[in-house]
Chain A
Amino acid sequence: MSGNGLTVPDVRRCLECGRCSYICPVSHMTDEFSPRKVAEQFVLEGKLRNDRGLWQCMSCGACTEFCQSEVRFHEYLQAKRRELRETFKAEDNHGGAPGSMMRLTANKSVHTKKDNWVTPDLKLDLDSETLLFVGCTPYFDVMFRYLRDDLLEIPRAAVKLLNASGIRPRLLEGERCCGHDAYWLGDEDLFDRLAGLNLDAIEKAGVKEVVAFCPECYSTLKQVYPRRFGPLGFEVRSVAEVIGEKIKEGELELKREEEKVTYHDPCRLGRHARVFEAPRDILDACGDLVEMPRNREMAACCGNAAFVNCNGSTRLWQLDRLREARESGASRLVTACPKCLIHLSCAEGQNVQMIKGEKMTVVDLHVLAASRIKRV
């Protein structure tokens, strides 16, 4: 316990069985990293040999899922990053733009305006008890428009789905980034500032429930905020959970079409927040869901979590996932996370361009479901 509400999981329970290294996406593709190796260096040598041990991990949580000694390696490494981030620096991707946006908005004096995507057909209610947390998707739309020009469709689709199930959400005035990247990169100060500003704003709004379509916002709000700041005065649910429930209760009907789709579990929604079935309920209502061999707890990561250290092994991993999706016989690969969508689209774009591979379209769960809403 480091005295600030964040624990340092004990890695000395490790039995060196190697299950983590078998499942870890990074150690599949490069010899330079494995959870077991990193844990061993920390325990036996008291320090890391190089920065790869610190930054190659995508904190997807697969190692923790399969550890039989209950070592929570991805959280252990997060704690180590808090200590060592000044010694071994992470390599920022995209010129450090996503991280800089996070830092720029972590100040009381700036007033963010992230509602540029709202169109007149979306029904919002300023007095609603449900708040939609938008997250960084509007920023990603600007930064990654060259990869996907439809990223703003995701928040729009989320509102459409909520509207169709009788919920008129409100948006958070002065919403900041949830702090996910800062947290997993071990930048406690930045995370605390962002989370503090968000919590103040949510409290001021006085809502009962916060829904998020981005799995990172969802898992951060739901799991990290209470761990750091104590119980929250509101509930946190993902849009997928809300919609999945409404479909089960029969309050929302989606048009079924003869189309085979496969679902890529985002690590934050699946292994971190344990939402496996709700997205599948939604997809079952949309078309035929075929599973890839690695699904649910076994799901493969999209290759990057916090826009650092994207490299050759990341790319191999993404291409492997896309191949798996193609072999499942599905015509489209569905994911529920804007970052998975960006990363897999990036790999797919290069795959089609360079290897002349068969194209696998990647689509967001919310966008797919919203396109199938039955008009009453």
Chain B
Amino acid sequence: MHPAGDPDSTASLDQPPGCCPSAWRPRIIAFCCNWCAYAGADLAGVSRRQYSPEVKILRVMCSGRVSPGMVLRSFASGADGIIVLGCHPGDCHYQIGNRYTEKSVDQVRELLDLAGIDDSRLRLEWISASEGEKFGRIIDEFTRTVRALGPLEAPE
């Protein structure tokens, strides 16, 4: 079986013992901007760089499109972790889109803090189109972080 489709292949991502039922797999959303991060993800794919299969990639035209409402809504609809990936500062296809991203992400961090939710569930990173390897590394790292934190909503 292809490793990415095998649920056991993620066992190497250090699930802490007893933190959560072993069947639990984090639901992670990666917002990728069309011009850099998505191309980076594509490069990771074509170079056969394997990364955590828990991540669902959502393409947006610019990471600046990701409003606080979108992130909060994803969390409220069951995401355990959200990573926003955009172009490096200065490289934005729309000049300053990623500056808006920074603002929005800061705003959501503040809101998560008020709600008592660990803000390491939200991460912002810059990935260029040539950084396929970095994309894979960051996704793996982030998955490990979210796995360690456990599910966002404890089962009642």
Contact = CB atoms under 8 A, between A and B. Distances in A.
B107 interface: yes
Contacts of B67: 95, 97
Interface in B105-136: 107, 110-111, 113-117
A153 to B, nearest CB: 17
Interface stretch (A104-112, A256-264, A277-285): A104-112
Contacts of B70: 95
B105 to A, nearest CB: 12
Contacts of B114: 112-114, 116, 138-139, 142
Given A110-B117, A112-B115, A113-B116, A100 B154 contact: no
A110 B153 CA distance: 8
A100 B73 contact: yes
A142 B114 CA distance: 10
A105 B75 CA distance: 11
Contacts of B107: 142-143
Nearest to A177: B115
Given A95-B73, A108-B154, A143 B68 contact: yes
Interface in A110-147: 110-114, 116, 138-139, 142-143
A101 interface: yes
A357 interface: no
Contacts of A139: 111, 114
A104 B116 CA distance: 10
Given A100-B72, A104-B115, A142 B110 contact: yes
A92 interface: yes
Contacts of A92: 69
Q: Is the interface of A mostly helix, strand, loop or mixed?
A: helix
A96 interface: yes
Contacts of A101: 72, 111, 115
Contacts of A104: 72, 75-76, 115, 117
A98 to B, nearest CB: 9
A113 B113 CA distance: 7
Contacts of A112: 114-116
Nearest to A145: B107
Given A113-B116, A138-B114, A107 B153 contact: yes
Interface residues of A, number: 24
B72 A109 contact: no
Given A108-B156, A109-B154, A96 B115 contact: no
A100 B72 CA distance: 6
B100 to A, nearest CB: 12
A82 interface: no
Given A107-B154, A143-B107, A100 B116 contact: no
A94 interface: yes
Nearest to A95: B69
A304 to B, nearest CB: 16
A92 B77 CA distance: 15
A96 B113 CA distance: 18
Nearest to A115: B114
Contacts of A143: 68, 107, 111
A39 B153 CA distance: 40
Contacts of B116: 105, 110-113
A95 B75 contact: no
A103 interface: yes
A99 B68 CA distance: 12
Interface string A69-112: 00000000000000000000000101111011101110111111
A114 B117 CA distance: 12
A142 B111 CA distance: 7
19 contacts: A94-B69, A95-B67, A95-B68, A95-B72, A96-B73, A97-B67, A97-B72, A97-B111, A100-B76, A101-B115, A103-B76, A105-B115, A107-B154, A108-B156, A110-B117, A116-B114, A138-B114, A139-B114, A142-B114
State the 10 A-B residue pairs at the shortest beta-carbon distance, nearest first. Answer: A95-B69, A109-B154, A100-B72, A103-B76, A97-B69, A100-B76, A111-B116, A95-B67, A96-B69, A142-B110
